[in-house]
Amino acid sequence: MANGISVFNAATVTSAQGATITDADGREWIDFAGGIGVLNLGHCPDEVVAAIQEQAAKYIHTSFNVVTYEPYIELCETLCEILPHGKKTKAMLLSTGAEAVENAIKIARQATGRQAVLCFTEAYHGRTMMAMTLTSKIDYKTNCGPFAPEVYRLPFPNFYRYSAGASMEEFVELELEHLENSEKNVVDPRNVAAIIMEPVQGEGGFNPIPQKYFEGLRAHCDKHGIMLIVDEVQSGFGRTGHWASWQHYGITPDISTYAKSMGSGMPIAAVLGRAEVMDSAAPGTIGGTYMGNPVCCAASLATIRLMKKININNMGKNLGKLIITRFIALQKDYSEIGDVRGIGAMIGIEFVVDSDPQKPDGELCKAIAERCANNGLIIITAGTYKNVIRILSPLVITPKVLEKGLDILEKAIIHETNLKRNK
């Protein structure tokens, strides 16, 4: 196996159900990683497994470019219904999040006839060449260049880290000034095809964009005819209590991207957008052999049906309230917990030294994640400095398993911070 493939946990799965994984040694793990935000509906929901089996027995692949099939059309219709982009919405299907990002950029370029793309620090958009160029963290791109040209970066308005005592209002005003100044000192807006961002950054540390900044970004795009692309690959499908986090903000993008939990683990992704924007891509310029594979479409349709039936968005909201309340209470006694934040159940816990947002404590965060693993809880970190614990448990986790997992996490935080204090 190639050295460049990193592995978080040494366990080897033999079966998995709901929020629990069983490994080859018969050990049970509580899963707070959900395959990196893919399993909002949990491992192997019966309805999704049945849909996969039924579709696989009918036909597995034709390539939609060669012979079309109904599940592709039905999934596009369903997505356009739950994620409307203005009066008329159109969709295309793909296999991975990075592929969705690549195609979103190609569509925006064709829609505007422009080339430049603005993205943000702490952004993560995948590992293919354009997606990796848009990704901020250097660890993901060391020695992988040359990168795609005409990509420019703005500072992400990370209120916790960079507000330096300013109020939210003052902070956003300043950040919007940076955006406006970018017209003079970063790139001519007349050349900008798109601004791409995650309303709640995933890999970057679960940083939610401030409401007023998002509004400012929308206004900036409207003023200059720039396409606003919102990447919902990690934040979509119930995680923030909505189908997409832009619905939480009440701001509609021109184009948006989805993957992960829309397929319960099957490789399926989508780009959605205003019909006239989507239609500006010429035939043949977007797509791929496996785009919207029939078995993956069937899995995604069953996923969305079940999500609607159990009201996954409410589940996301309720789970989030429970988790955030618990760790905000713990923060009162542990100044090492610099911030507990998120929207819905997309909750991050940030660790710092001396309550200083400028002093990320990746070492403590790593020790906590390792202690969790030793006690049977799979949890992953995030952030440029790997100092944020991100909770991505299935939203359908039972109260008992949730409680057990949160207990392990809380005890690990207490144990490791006390150890560090006594050093």
Q: Which residues bind ligand PLP (CB under 6 A)?
A: 36, 96-98, 101, 124-126, 198, 202-203, 231, 233-234, 259
Min separation Cβ 8 and ligand PLP, Å: 13
Q: What are phi and psi of 112, to 5 degrees?
A: -105, -20
Q: Are 136 and 120 in contact (CB under 8 A)?
A: yes
The residue (of 233 and 391) whose beta carbon lies closer to ligand PLP is: 233
Q: Which is nearer to ligand PLP, 94 or 340 (CB)?
A: 94
The minimum distance between CB 342 and ligand PLP, in angstroms, equals: 15
Residues 361 and 356: their CA atoms lie apart, in Å, by 10
CA distance to 97, 255, 307, 395, per residue, from 52 (Å): 21, 29, 16, 21
Closer by beta carbon to ligand PLP, 234 or else 417: 234
For residues 348 and 224, give the distance between their C-alpha atoms in angstroms, rounded to a whole number: 34
Kindly report the three-state secondary structure assignment for every residue of 87-131: CCEEEEEECCHHHHHHHHHHHHHHHHCCCEEEEECCCCCCCCHHH
Nearest to ligand PLP of 110, 234 (CB atom): 234
- Whether residue 238 contacts residue 307, with contact meaning beta carbons closer than 8 Å, is answered with yes
Rounded least distance, CB 38 to ligand PLP, Å: 8
Nearer to ligand PLP (CB atom), residue 36 or residue 186 = 36
Q: How far apart are CA 350 and CA 158, in angstroms?
A: 12
AA letter at 371: R
Residue reference for tokens 């990196």: 36
Q: How far is the CB of 391 from ligand PLP (least distance, A)?
A: 15
Min dist CB 237 to ligand PLP, Å, is 13
Residue 198 or 336: the one with the smaller Cβ distance to ligand PLP is 198
d(CA 44, CA 310): 16
For the bound state, the minimum distance from the C-beta of residue 359 to ligand PLP, rounded and expressed in Å, comes to: 26
For the bound state, the minimum distance from the C-beta of residue 320 to ligand PLP, rounded and expressed in Å, comes to 18
Q: What share of the chain is helix, strand, coil (3-state, %, to 5)?
A: 40, 20, 40
Measured from the CB atom, the residue of 192 and 382 that comes closer to ligand PLP is 382
Residue nearest to ligand PLP (CB): 97
CA distances to 336, 351, 388, 422 from 354, in Å: 7, 10, 16, 15
Structure tokens at 129: 């060449």
Nearer to ligand PLP, 93 or 259 (CB): 259
Q: How far is the CB of 259 from ligand PLP (least distance, A)?
A: 5
Contact 194, 255 (CB under 8 A): yes
